Amino acid sequence: MRRKPSHSDSDNIASRYSRLVDFTQSPRKLSIMARIIIAGSCLLAVVLLFARYSSSQQTTKLRTVAVLKDQGGGSGVWGTIHLEQDISQPNGQPSSPVHIYGDINGLKSTGVHAFHIHKFGDITNGCQSAGDHWNPRAHEHGAPEDVVRHDGDLGNINADRSGKAQIDLRDNILTLVGPQSIIGRSVVVHEKADDLGRGGTADSKKTGSAGGRLACGVIGWLKE
């Protein structure tokens, strides 16, 4: 049988209600609860903002390649050059220098050779139709570390005794995205060393007096 409510039950309910009313009317207790709620809300907001920031900072690596050949010049020089860059998402802006690496073979033993990016990806007339150095800022020729330089000025590469040059460099001026992207342009290795614009002649300020073009290749998307 169900027990009939007693006076003591009513007293207990009244007592609990009285304590609840007393708690909600206490400024100190309300202040503590408010602080807990605010702190929890702030922590949740920070976590959500961090998650959103982390997802917005994801990067994509763009990978391109240039296969260098002598293009009928008879030099016998050949090689493969990779060019890569990290791109932030979703804004599509570069987040790293362009990483340039690879090797070139068939060079003169222990030779020093100029290494540049040229304006055009046109090799219909061999490497000559690749045009001048890539120079969208209309600067004089210089060294890779110079503030004033062609964007395509990458200095020199050094061949070992077997005539092979291994390349591994990073450049903060070049880019693989935007209106100044080098995709579709050419990588060229030259006959002579680049004097880095220090030769004291007009040609030095234009080409580094690097001589003929031994091999070249068009920069294109790498198949994943």
Q: Say which of 113, 116, 149, 185 is annotated catalytic.
A: 116
Q: Over the stretch 33-80, which tens digit does the pLDDT of each residue have?
A: 776 777 777 777 766 665 565 555 699 999 999 999 998 889 999 999
Can you point out the beta strands (E) in the chain? 59-68, 78-88, 98-105, 112-118, 124-127, 153-158, 165-171, 186-190, 213-218, 220-221
CB atoms within 10 A of CB 203: 12
User: What average pLDDT does range 105-124 have in this prediction?
Assistant: 96
Does 139 qualify as catalytic in the annotation? no
pLDDT band at residue 145 using 50, 70 and 90 as cut-offs = very high
Q: Which fold has domain 59-221?
A: Immunoglobulin-like (2.60.40)
Does 141 qualify as catalytic in the annotation? yes
Does 153 qualify as catalytic in the annotation? yes
Helix (H, G, I), strand (E, B) or coil at 51: helix
Does 118 qualify as catalytic in the annotation? yes
pTM of structure: 0.75
Does 133 qualify as catalytic in the annotation? yes
Q: Say which of 113, 150, 151, 194 is annotated catalytic.
A: 150
Helix (H, G, I), strand (E, B) or coil at 146: coil
Q: Over the stretch 173-200, which tens digit does the pLDDT of each residue have?
A: 999 999 999 999 999 999 999 999 999 9
Q: Say which of 151, 153, 171, 195 is annotated catalytic.
A: 153
pLDDT band at residue 1 using 50, 70 and 90 as cut-offs = very low
Q: Say which of 113, 118, 149, 185 is annotated catalytic.
A: 118
Q: Over the stretch 7-37, which tens digit does the pLDDT of each residue have?
A: 555 555 455 545 544 544 555 555 777 767 7
Q: Say which of 141, 185, 194, 195 is annotated catalytic.
A: 141
Domain regions of the chain by residue span? 7-56, 59-221
Q: Say which of 113, 149, 185, 213 is annotated catalytic.
A: 213
Does 82 qualify as catalytic in the annotation? no
- pLDDT of 133 above 50: yes
